[in-house]
Amino acid sequence: MSERKQELPRVLLVSHNVLSRNTNNGRTMGSYFAGWEKDRIAQLFFQAEVPTDPLCENYFRYTDQDALKSLLQRNRKGRRLGAADIEPQRPDSADTGALAGVYNYGRKRSPLIYLGRDGVWRLSGWKNSGMREWISEFDPEVLFFVSGDYAFPYRIVSEIAKEFKVPYVVCCYDDYYLFNRNQGRFLGNFRQKQFMKTAEPALEKAARILTLNDSMAEAYRERFQRECTVLHMAAAVPEDEGPEIEEKSGIAFLGGLGLGREMQLVEIAGALAEIKDPAVPKVIDVYSGEQDPGTLSRLTACPGIRFHGAVAGDQVAEIIRRSRAVIHTESFDPVMRGRVRYSLSTKIPESLGSGTCLLAYGPAEAASMEYLRRNEAAFTATSREELRPALEGILTDGAEYRRIRENARALARKNHDSRAIRQTVREVLAAAAGGERK
């Protein structure tokens, strides 16, 4: 392998979501590969989405619809996507067609949905001539697998790695292995055992496991006996701090509303209403591509919440910088608390270097809350009693706001520098490709 190939191996990115400037996962994946030569990256993805990030021009999409229809139509091969299919100006990469409601229902992630979807994919014709020809033409030197909580992508990655004799690196954004999100539900334990029967062998054969924080790396290193590397999410740190504090206005929430976050926003809106200071805003502006009717009805029923829908990726940074506060929240529900024990929201790094302070509300043991509180990089509240003082501080105390803002920007420069993170990704993938494949 030439020196250039060692620096930039041909990498096949495998993930549920497509590279996108408009979703948290899409932006995070894109940050790892910024500057990668376009002919040395390709993506296989499974969600009914449209690419919006031109850093890659070689895609193969095989969706749930393809998997289901292939049970009757074995010639269902999925679809190649190229430069002409990329829509940079599209505000939301998600499919809004006839199957949108089905996907929203599937997001409920009950044991039966997990088992049913994995069953369909197991029987489907995903391993077809169209996909195999596409992979063969690209001839990857290493796979970069963004893992999730369904079994079928682990099976797909394992089979691709075996057939094409290519190593793979697993990138974990969340804890899917040490916590059973369906604990106590009908078939919950059975479903988790079935998932781990597929996921554990795949993780044990990975060339490297990438995690978002030290505690996750330590836990996975012990569980899977594989080398783990901490890969913090990238964050831009502009030279200037944005508008003066006095010029900032409003409270914003941007991102996904899963894991009970909509009820946390309702609670924060209630605490805002209790503050009598007329200078304190009483409305939270929510920007999200959420489409679940139940979630949306709970939000719109609250007078302290204004729902705007999805916004394009290039608008996110501007919304953050002009806001007085950006909210990060995690649920206090016992099941959800375990779910976020090791996770770190993608919007935290996006906010740290922005010049706008975070209001973080959630249980103390959540990795995101512990990270922000330990580094004094946000106004934090780990109980309902702490929420109102945290709100008053972020909205009225200019001196404390400046102190927290400087801590946040220093943390972003230390742990979330995009160039250092990209270099780590390059080194890990080059080592995997050079050490495993002839």
Structural domain contains residue 240? no
Q: Helices in 225-346 by DSSP H: which ranges?
A: 261-274, 293-300, 313-322, 334-339
- 10 Å Cβ neighbour count for 298? 16
Assess whether 394 and 317 both reside in one domain: yes
Structural domain contains residue 302? yes
Report the distance separating Cα 206 and Cα 141, nearest Å.
14
Structural domain contains residue 227? yes
- Partners of 210 in the β-ladder: 171, 229
Q: What is the dihedral of CA 100, 339, 227, 42, to 10 degrees?
A: 10
Please check whether residue 299 is in contact with residue 268, taking contact to mean a CB–CB distance below 8 angstroms.
no
What length does the chain have? 438
Assess whether 297 and 314 both reside in one domain: yes
Report the distance separating Cα 107 and Cα 85, nearest Å.
26
Structural domain contains residue 110? yes
Assess whether 204 and 260 both reside in one domain: no
Tokens representing residue 104 in the block: 């929203």
Assess whether 172 and 186 both reside in one domain: yes
CATH number at residue 317: 3.40.50.2000
- Partners of 245 in the β-ladder: none
Domains in the chain, number: 2
Assess whether 205 and 217 both reside in one domain: yes
Predicted local distance difference test score (pLDDT) of residue 91: 66
Predicted local distance difference test score (pLDDT) of residue 7: 65
Assess whether 183 and 287 both reside in one domain: no
Assess whether 219 and 321 both reside in one domain: no
Q: What is the dihedral of CA 51, 54, 58, 60, to 10 degrees?
A: -10
Please check whether residue 299 is in contact with residue 286, taking contact to mean a CB–CB distance below 8 angstroms.
yes
Structural domain contains residue 239? no
Integer angstrom CA distances of residue 149 from 85, 131, 377 = 28, 23, 30
Please check whether residue 18 is in contact with residue 49, taking contact to mean a CB–CB distance below 8 angstroms.
yes
Assess whether 386 and 274 both reside in one domain: yes
Structural domain contains residue 373? yes
- Partners of 104 in the β-ladder: none
- Supply the pTM of this predicted model: 0.76
Integer angstrom CA distances of residue 215 from 166, 170, 230, 263, 305 = 29, 17, 9, 28, 35
Structural domain contains residue 363? yes
130 Cβ neighbours under 8 A, 6+ residues apart: 60, 77, 78, 80
Mean pLDDT in order along the chain per 10 residues (438 residues): 58 95 84 91 95 94 94 89 89 57 57 94 95 97 96 98 97 88 89 96 96 88 94 83 89 85 93 92 92 88 93 86 94 73 78 94 89 95 95 96 96 91 94 70
